[in-house]
Amino acid sequence: ETGVTQTPRHLVMGMTNKKSLKCEQHLGHNAMYWYKQSAKKPLELMFVYNFKEQTENNSVPSRFSPECPNSSHLFLHLHTLQPEDSALYLCASSQERGVYYNEQFFGPGTRLTVL
Amino acid sequence: KNQVEQSPQSLIILEGKNCTLQCNYTVSPFSNLRWYKQDTGRGPVSLTIMTFSENTKSNGRYTATLDADTKQSSLHITASQLSDSASYICVVSPILTGGGNKLTFGTGTQLKVEL
């Protein structure tokens, strides 16, 4: 266990559904991230939050909407997704201090399938 | 453009054998380099992390090396076990003025250990 949990672990949704992914970190970190991992591609950074403020939006379509109510919780709200959005969605957290700053700890991921 | 390239793309070895995975990067200047292990359907887990001034780091049967002059790193696995079957991802963190969270990920080497 890395101290980062994600729910649900698996999600199947239609293109007209609305769903949310949840991430929680128990490490006292102050930065949280959403990544998308598609087959045979490097992890793609989607969003970054530092101290609850969004500091990075990597040109992500508006059908993905992040929310960070506090430093320990991160959500990804999904609506009107496309089949090509099917992927493993990973949450990570890090502490932005020290020599090994930005060492990110990943959750187990949510395997999303869009029908 | 910052890039991280890994080789080989995939590798099959017999249990008990050693293997070496390669990582070449163009990220410059860089802060640190990490190797992650990712089991199928799971999030990446950190194996080693090295700053630019370190040239080797061990974690059990895993030993990472770094040559900052040639911008190359390797991950050596000794006496492989079936549980080593996973994707191994090289990740480089740049030095960004004012801090920052951007990492550059490789596509990974898929390792399979067989009996």
Query: Which residues in chain B (74-93) have CB-CB distances under 8 A to chain A?
Result: 89, 93
Distance (Å, rounded) from C-alpha A74 to C-alpha A24? 6
Q: In the prediction, which pLDDT does B104 show?
A: 87
Say if the Cβ atoms of A92 and B43 lie within 8 Å: yes
Percentages of chain A per state (helix, strand, coil), in multiples of 5: 5, 55, 40
Q: In the prediction, which pLDDT does A99 show?
A: 44
Per-residue pLDDT at A98 exceeds 60? no
Among A36, A64, A29, A66, residue whose Cα is nearest residue A50: A29
Query: Which two structure tokens, joined as six digits, stand for B41?
Result: 């359907």
Which of A4, A56, A90 has the CB atom closest to B101's CB atom?
A56
For every one of its 115 residues, what pLDDT tens digit does chain B have, with 9 covering 90 and above? 678 999 999 999 999 999 999 999 998 777 789 999 999 888 999 999 898 889 999 999 999 999 989 999 999 999 999 999 999 999 998 776 544 557 889 999 999 999 9
Q: How crowded is residue A99: how many other Cβ atoms within 10 Å of its Cβ? A: 10
Tell me, yes or no, if B56 comes closer than 8 A to chain A by beta carbon. Answer: no
Which segments within chain B are labelled E, that is strand? 4-7, 10-14, 19-25, 30-38, 45-51, 56-59, 62-67, 72-77, 86-94, 104-105, 109-114
User: What does each C-alpha distance from A74 to A34, A56, A67, B2, B96 come to in angstroms?
Assistant: 9, 14, 6, 28, 24
Which of B101, B104, B108 has the CB atom closest to A33's CB atom?
B101
